[in-house]
Amino acid sequence: MLSLVQSLLKRPTASAGAIAVGAALAISSFSVVAATTKVHPDKTKNPKTTTCASTSPCETIDNTGPALSLVTSATNTRSFYVSATASGADGTDISGGYIGVIGRAPAGTATYPLVLTDANGNDLDYTDGDGDIYYKGSLNSFVITRHHQQVVAYAPRTTTQTIEDVGSGRLVNGQATVALDRTFADSIDLQAPYHVFLTPNGDTRGLYVANKTPTSFVVRETQGGRGTLLFDYRVVASALGHASDRMGEMAVPPAPHAVSVR
């Protein structure tokens, strides 16, 4: 046990208590038997390295409580480093009985509980303290066809933050009133008008939206027609609180630039 602590830190000092290795990170997949030593790093010495040649872990910590706690008080540094240098090797394998990985950061647009980069420190994907996600590349999903084939589907991109709903209605004597889904209507931003797209499912002179309210819209047949037929509709609206958001008109949020500081 002591050899593990010495390999992680710079100088051990004995006292009663649990293992505290300097930690803003608690990892339960590490485990400690009888944690009775408290250690503090000696900043005047180089950190020690444990070297082994085995397919099994060099060190194992087993404990009924938190297995390892690492804390650093310095700025622009890391509490914990994991590096796998061999080709095809994985950096970490973390397994949790409830949550596998928890990332925390103060709330706000300039803090980041999760940042993913390439080997050169270029940002690929990050989540800011407000929960907004930014990523490079495409947003893809696996889709299973009815013939059990796995294919890739792609997410559309829009210039505004929108929320949509689709449905069908029935025109009777040239007119129909369509009520918006209550939850959908409560989720749209009425500071900007919503849009309705109509597709008739029968012969008609044409359909148009005669009136829109916060809870419904009215469809009529053009030229005073009095036809009776089914139609489909698609409603596109600004998401609540985002009526003024538009591509090119909002400032790009600061990127985290999580380069190595070792």
Cα separation, 244 vs 140, whole angstroms: 27
Instruction: Convert 35-45 to b/e letters by CB count within 10 Å (16 or more is b).
Output: bebbbebeeee
Q: How far apart are CA 256 and CA 118, in angstroms?
A: 13
- Cα–Cα distance for residue pair 135/199, rounded to 1 Å: 35
Report the Cα 215 to chain-centroid distance in Å.
Answer: 32
Helix (H) or strand (E) holding 162: strand 162-171
pLDDT at 16: 35
With beta carbons less than 8 A apart as the criterion, state whether 150 and 143 touch.
yes
Calpha distance 88→67 (Å, rounded): 28
pLDDT recorded at residue 42: 52
22 C-beta neighbours (distance < 10 Å), count? 18
Give me the pLDDT at residue 230, please: 98
Pair of tokens at residue 19 = 């293992």
For residues 179 and 216, is the Cβ–Cβ distance under 8 A?
yes
Q: Are 222 and 237 spatial neighbours (Cβ–Cβ below 8 Å)?
A: no
Burial 182-200 (b: 16+ CB within 10 A, else e): eeebeebbeebebebebeb
Phi, psi of 224 (to 5 degrees): 70, 20
The secondary structure of residue 12, as a DSSP letter, is: B
> What is the chain's alpha carbon radius of gyration, rounded to the nearest angstrom?
29
pLDDT at 6: 45
Question: For every one of its 262 residues, what pLDDT tens digit does the chain have, with 9 covering 90 and above?
Answer: 444 444 444 444 333 333 333 333 333 444 333 333 444 455 455 667 778 887 888 888 899 998 889 888 888 788 888 888 888 889 899 999 999 999 999 998 789 999 999 888 888 999 999 999 999 989 999 999 999 999 999 999 999 999 999 999 999 999 999 999 999 999 999 999 999 999 999 999 999 999 999 999 999 999 999 999 999 999 999 999 999 999 887 677 778 877 665 5
Residues 19 and 37: beta-carbon distance below 8 Å: yes
pLDDT at 15: 37
Q: Which domains occur in the chain, in start order?
A: 1-102 (no CATH), 104-156 (no CATH), 162-238 (2.60.40)
